[in-house]
């Protein structure tokens, strides 16, 4: 397992070690001690799974008061995963990063609390799994519209398929954090 960072020093891109042979491949998708060694939160309380078809865009979501840290992994397909720093006093406030996660690159991303998260599906379909450090609280859920011009995120998809809820999310500048 190799752990990398990008523009956010507390967001980790994890490259898993896989063992391949003529039958297929095997890898550990999570092992508490190994993640703790890299200072990655390992107290997960909820596992989520989503299946989405091509061009579906989910997000950008976050929770106020009880924010979630997330460990994201793609079991099937390929996604463009996007993280936005929504911590007002952070040096990287309003910055975003994106990472391609797929069934072939076996990458994961760990996102600590304090970030908005979303993804769009680049393959015909994708199965996305993620572990969360806090329970889902619908009354605390918030979001940022996917095409917020102040963020100017390149989602790698031209005409995304959105839920009715995600289509009418506010811009970041209109949210009280």
Give me the catalytic one of 35, 110, 115, 130: 130
DSSP codes of every residue in 48-83: EEEEEETTBEEEEEEESSS---EEEEEEESEEEEEE
Give me the catalytic one of 35, 61, 106, 110: 61
Strand partners, 161: 56
136 noted as active-site residue: no
Could you tell me the two tokens for 40? 């990655």
79 Cβ neighbours under 8 A, 6+ residues apart: 100, 101, 102, 119, 120, 121, 122, 123, 126, 128
Terminal-residue alpha carbon distance, the chain = 35
61 noted as active-site residue: yes
Task: Give dist(CA 156, CA 137) in Å, integer.
Answer: 30
CA–chain centroid gap for 175, Å, is: 20
Task: Give dist(CA 131, CA 60) in Å, integer.
Answer: 17
Give the residue numbers marked as catalytic: 61, 130
């Amino acid at each position: 397992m190799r752990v990398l960072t990008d523009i956010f020093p507390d967001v980790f891109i994890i490259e898993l070690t896989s063992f391949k042979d003529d039958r297929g491949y095997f890898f550990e998708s999570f092992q508490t001690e190994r993640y703790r060694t890299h200072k990655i939160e390992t107290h997960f309380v909820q596992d989520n799974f989503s299946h989405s078809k091509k061009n579906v865009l989910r997000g950008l979501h976050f929770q106020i008061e009880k924010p979630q840290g997330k460990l994201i992994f793609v079991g099937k397909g390929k996604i463009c995963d996007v993280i936005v720093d929504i911590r007002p006093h952070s040096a990287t406030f309003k910055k975003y990063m994106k990472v391609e996660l797929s069934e072939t690159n076996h990458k994961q991303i760990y996102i600590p609390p304090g970030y908005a998260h979303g993804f769009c599906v680049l393959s015909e379909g994708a199965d996305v799994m993620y572990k969360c450090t806090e329970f889902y609280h619908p009354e605390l859920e918030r979001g940022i519209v996917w095409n917020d011009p102040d963020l100017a995120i390149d989602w790698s998809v031209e005409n995304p398929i959105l839920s009715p809820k995600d289509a009418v999310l506010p811009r970041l500048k209109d949210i009280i954090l």
